[in-house]
Amino acid sequence: MEFSTQTTAGLQQVRSAALGVGVFADGVLTPAAEVIDRASEGAISAVLKTEFKGKANSHLVLRNLPGIKAERVIVIGLGKQETYRAAGHAAAEQTFASVCAGLNVTEGVSTLAGVECEQTTLRSRARAMALAGRRSTYRYDLTRTKDLEPAPRLKKLSLWVSRSNAAEAQVGLTEGSAIGNGVNLARLLGDMPPNHCTPTYLGETAKKLGKEFKSLKVEVLDRKKIEAEKMGSFLSVARGSDEPPVFIVLRHTPKSGKAKGKAPLVLVGKGLTFDSGGISIKPSANMDEMKYDMGGAASVLGTMRAVAELELDREVIGLIAACENLPSGRANKPGDVVTSMSGQTIEILNTDAEGRLVLCDALTYAERFNPEAVIDIATLTGACVVALGHINSGLFSKDDELANELLAAGQETGDTAWRMPLDDAYQEQLRSNFADMANIGGMPAGSVTAACFLSRFTTAYPWAHLDIAGTAWKSGKDKGATGRPVPLLTQFLIARS
């Protein structure tokens, strides 16, 4: 799929199978809609009197309008003008792209990015358009043989802008396209069944990225090498399964010199390709969804793909600790004490709190890069879903500047996070009588004590933690991975470059 700008002067002259124009609630026309309305002798005003109210996420297809060269005009509802911001625009572009994909056309032209609104620039609006385009063509069919949805034929989306704005728009389109590719990679890995997407498969996916992108060097450590690094906590979780663990290191080195000498940014992903809970086994209902417990790892792979495709002028390192959490004769037992790579000992009181056990060693491994900052991404706690639902990812950091940058990147991309507390006072809940710490902190503030646990392994660098338990996938009829927080992470890295 291709994204470009279209600078034809008169909108009514644009030849396209689908021309998207926006209308606000209460019938307020955007400039593009006004041009079409005038050229078509009031075709849009007419439907506004009857079936179309401009509600957010609504649309109407108008065919063969008089005076208009485009075959179809897709009128997109933008909702109330007063509240129309980055998220509203992103949703409108998504509606347009999805309608194009659904109509089975091969190309479309959107005018939506031309509508200025708070929190955005033309570049960020163009980025949202390309991201929506990529999302609209995602289909999961790897392990289906029947009732396949036909793959959309959509091959090209164009952004209608003035000639003088085309260059800025093109920058945004390139970014959105790369972010979209990263999002779709993360979605595919998440949606894959856990007997297909194993730790080994994640390692192979990383190696494939290394072959595809020159800037990426990839190393996959096997069990022996993980043992040599003394990752005793990670290995204790991995031991419960016959599926071998891997530790993945992806390194993006920029070509040019500007980024030279700058400390790298490190992303760390939780890669549980299946979490049964182990001996502290989970209830059966919806346990299949624990295939998504590698969402953090998937977002690291997706973001590294985007970073490499954009040839970002910044060294970025991705680390992934991948294994399964299963009950077996060799699995962790409640009461076991393990020694982490940092030397700190951990009493395992619940084997289902395994994410922090694999992440703590990955966070210690990150020290060797002398990073400017480390961000870990994990489907870490059910408690985070209770706190924030499926709207915001949980953000934990003691570093205000880092936290604010991540929040801003979330706002700009519509992939939002909400800051949670990380006071030392919560640390007390992790007290153990038999080790340096316990791996659970009891019922109260479960997502906070999980973050507190991780914080004990991150004293060597600025650090932030994203709990994506509520945002990495959707349950129910539309069950599927979201690819979050690839947009947030990539935007953060672009802003730091």
Q: Is 8 exposed, middle or buried (0-12, 13-18, 19+ CB in 10 A)?
A: middle
310-331 in b/e burial notation, b at 16+ Cβ within 10 A? bebebbbbbbbbbbbbbbeeeb
In the list 74, 109, 360, 383, the residue contacting ligand BES (rule: CB under 6 A) is 383
Least distance to Zn ion from the beta carbon of 269, Å? 12
Least distance to ligand BES from the beta carbon of 441, Å? 7
72, 123, 251, 356: the catalytic one is 356
- 395 touches, from Zn ion, Mn ion, ligand BES, none (C-beta below 5 to 8 Å by class): none
In the list 159, 469, 481, 488, the residue contacting ligand BES (rule: CB under 6 A) is 469
In the list 107, 315, 354, 376, the residue contacting ligand BES (rule: CB under 6 A) is 354
Using rule CB under 6 A, residue 467 touches ligand BES: no
Q: How many residues in the shown chain lie near ligand BES by CB under 6 A?
A: 16
Is 134 noted as a catalytic residue in this protein?
no
Least distance to Mn ion from the beta carbon of 331, Å? 12
Using rule CB under 5 A, residue 467 touches Zn ion: no
Q: Is 134 in contact with 180 (CB distance < 8 Å)?
A: yes
- 381 touches, from Zn ion, ligand BES, Mn ion, none (C-beta below 5 to 8 Å by class): ligand BES
Using rule CB under 6 A, residue 253 touches ligand BES: no
User: Does residue 485 have a cis bond before it (omega within 30 degrees)?
Assistant: yes
Closest alpha carbon to 322 in 300, 350, 289: 300
Question: Residue 265 CB: number of other CB atoms within 10 A?
Answer: 24
53, 223, 282, 474: the catalytic one is 282
Q: Is 465 in contact with 489 (CB distance < 8 Å)?
A: no
Using rule CB under 6 A, residue 379 touches ligand BES: yes
Q: x/- string (CB under 5 A) for Zn ion, residues 259-278? A: -------------x--x---
Is 125 noted as a catalytic residue in this protein?
no
- Closer of 39 and 469 to ligand BES (Cβ): 469
SS3 (DSSP) at 417: strand
Question: Residue 212 CB: number of other CB atoms within 10 A?
Answer: 11
In the list 107, 243, 352, 361, the residue contacting Mn ion (rule: CB under 5 A) is 352
Tell me which stretch binds Zn ion (CB under 5 A): 17-25, 40-48, 176-184, 353-361: 353-361
List C-alpha distances in Å: 23 to 55, 179, 436: 8, 27, 60
Question: Residue 436 CB: number of other CB atoms within 10 A?
Answer: 17
List C-alpha distances in Å: 357 to 44, 180, 223, 229, 467: 58, 31, 16, 15, 15
Q: Which residues bind Mn ion (CB under 5 A)?
A: 275, 352, 354
**Site residues (vs ligand BES, CB under 6 A):** 275, 293, 350, 352-355, 379-383, 385, 440, 446, 469
- Any idea which residues carry the catalytic annotation? 282, 356
